[in-house]
């Protein structure tokens, strides 16, 4: 009997992630965080579970890790608050759910999933979204849970930079200003799913919504072509409908996943200044993890259960 074919890829954000600014211990911690997400998703897939459950489990693991800009480690907006965005999409049914600009639900990806499954809508935002989450009995966390010192310091530095009218502080600072987490999966039944969750960008304007909860921009899944979860400067990803653009090239132009993803992220967005990357998987299990900046926290796993993780343009670590 042939083994069921499945695949999962995750990311923990992209940007100016520079090796010389990271200690080996910090690198190890990021690899461990990515591995934990891969294990969480793989456990679901190996049990014959759905791609939707796998991406949800992987993103919950990343939201719970304060190193990543989503859930617990979300960045601060200009007012010193948090506004989180998240989305899920089921490639089997093309059902999608998303929330934007909320702070309270402990795992925003679970709120997005509740929107998909129980609201009759695709995207809920602001106070109405929070009320819906409470009515659905989702777990909430207080401000102390979402406070992380490194994100607070990043906000203070950004405020100071703007007060003094200085250019971007240094190249490493960009990495602290944004980030996102996401997962894509193909399950053993041939279904695709994607999930994305983010705190957005440090010092973003209150009310600003990024690409993550915009279906077709930062998140997409369709069993006919591929599943995509993006990270990067969201305004660019929205304007280029990045995730859907890749799916359309596969379905309508017959491109491979690798070619479509590379062309959109590296050849087109990169030169325009749309910094970022994405993870994607197609209906036959091919995986693509392109980025057009210095690094992207990323990883993938297949049936054998061996996690592969990387940060920069480098060989993947296994195990």
| H-helix or E-strand spanning residue 93 | none
The yes or no reply on residue 53 touching ligand ASP (CB under 6 A) is no
The region of 32-40, 42-50, 111-119, 178-186 touching ligand ASP under the rule CB under 6 A is 178-186
Task: Report the distance separating Cα 110 and Cα 98, nearest Å.
Answer: 10
Active-site residue, selected from the candidate residues 16, 148, 180, 198: 180
Query: Contact with ligand ASP (CB under 6 A): which of 104, 108, 232, 307?
Result: 232
Nearest to 182 by CA among 111, 232, 139: 232
Q: How many CB atoms lie within 10 A of CB 244?
A: 18
Token readout for 114 is 């509740």
The yes or no reply on residue 41 touching ligand ASP (CB under 6 A) is no
Q: Binding-site residue total for ligand ASP (CB under 6 A)?
A: 14
- Between 56 and 202, CB nearer to ligand ASP: 202
Query: Contact with ligand ASP (CB under 6 A): which of 200, 216, 290, 295?
Result: 200
Query: How far is the first Cα of the chain from the last one, in angstroms, to the nearest whole number?
Result: 26
- Between 17 and 92, CB nearer to ligand ASP: 17
Query: Contact with ligand ASP (CB under 6 A): which of 234, 274, 299, 307?
Result: 234
* Binders in 6-35 for ligand ASP, by CB under 6 A: 13
- Between 132 and 237, CB nearer to ligand ASP: 237
The region of 27-35, 105-113, 196-204, 298-306 touching ligand ASP under the rule CB under 6 A is 196-204
The region of 29-37, 46-54, 55-63, 194-202 touching ligand ASP under the rule CB under 6 A is 194-202
Token readout for 192 is 């695709």
Query: Contact with ligand ASP (CB under 6 A): which of 178, 191, 203, 249?
Result: 178
The region of 36-44, 162-170, 183-191, 230-238 touching ligand ASP under the rule CB under 6 A is 230-238
Q: What DSSP designation does 314 have?
A: S
The yes or no reply on residue 277 touching ligand ASP (CB under 6 A) is no
* Binders in 102-161 for ligand ASP, by CB under 6 A: none
Phi and psi (nearest 5°) for 185?
-150, 150
56 is catalytic: no
- 313 CB-side CA count, 13 A: 8
The yes or no reply on residue 174 touching ligand ASP (CB under 6 A) is no
Task: Report the distance separating Cα 22 and Cα 121, nearest Å.
Answer: 42
| H-helix or E-strand spanning residue 308 | strand 308-312
Q: What DSSP designation does 188 have?
A: T
CB-based contact 81:206 (threshold 8 Å) = yes
- Between 113 and 204, CB nearer to ligand ASP: 204
Q: What DSSP designation does 215 have?
A: B
The yes or no reply on residue 201 touching ligand ASP (CB under 6 A) is yes
Angle between helix axes 108-118 and 51-63 (nearest 10 degrees) is 150
The yes or no reply on residue 292 touching ligand ASP (CB under 6 A) is no
Name the strands in the sheet holding 84-90, side by side, starting at the edge strand that comes first in the sequence: 123-125, 95-102, 84-90, 192-198, 181-186, 7-15, 295-302, 308-312, 317-318
The yes or no reply on residue 198 touching ligand ASP (CB under 6 A) is yes
Binding positions for ligand ASP, rule: CB under 6 A: 13, 178-180, 198, 200-201, 210-212, 218, 231-232, 234
What residues are annotated to the active site? 180
């Amino acid at each position: 009997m042939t083994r069921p074919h499945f695949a999962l890829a995750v990311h923990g954000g992209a940007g100016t992630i520079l090796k010389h600014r990271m200690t080996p211990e910090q690198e190890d911690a990021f690899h461990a965080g990515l591995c934990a997400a891969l294990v969480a998703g793989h456990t679901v897939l190996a049990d014959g579970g759905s791609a939707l459950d796998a991406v949800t489990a992987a993103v919950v693991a990343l939201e719970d890790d304060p190193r990543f800009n989503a859930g617990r480690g979300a960045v601060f907006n200009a007012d010193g608050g948090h506004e989180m965005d998240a989305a899920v999409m089921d490639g089997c049914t093309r059902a999608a759910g998303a929330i934007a600009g909320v702070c309270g639900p402990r795992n925003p990806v679970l709120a997005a999933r509740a929107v998909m499954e129980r609201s009759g809508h695709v995207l809920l935002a602001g106070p109405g979204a929070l009320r819906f989450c409470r009515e659905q009995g989702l777990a909430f966390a207080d401000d102390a849970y979402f406070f992380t010192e490194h994100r607070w310091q990043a906000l203070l530095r950004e405020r100071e930079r703007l007060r003094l009218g200085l250019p971007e502080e240094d190249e490493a600072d960009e990495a602290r200003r944004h980030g996102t987490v996401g997962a894509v999966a193909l399950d053993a039944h041939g279904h695709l799913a994607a999930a994305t969750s983010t705190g957005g960008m440090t010092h973003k304007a209150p009310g600003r919504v990024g690409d993550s909860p915009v279906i077709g921009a930062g998140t997409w899944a369709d069993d006919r072509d591929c599943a995509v979860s993006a990270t990067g400067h969201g305004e660019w990803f929205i304007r280029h409908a990045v995730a859907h653009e890749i799916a359309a090239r596969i379905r309508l132009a017959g491109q491979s996943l690798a070619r479509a993803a590379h062309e959109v992220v590296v050849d087109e967005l990169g030169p325009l200044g749309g910094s970022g990357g994405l993870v994607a998987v197609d209906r036959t299990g091919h995986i693509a993890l392109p980025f057009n900046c210095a690094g992207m926290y990323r990883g993938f796993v297949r049936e054998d259960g061996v996690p592969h993780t990387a940060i920069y343009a480098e060989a993947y670590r296994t195990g």
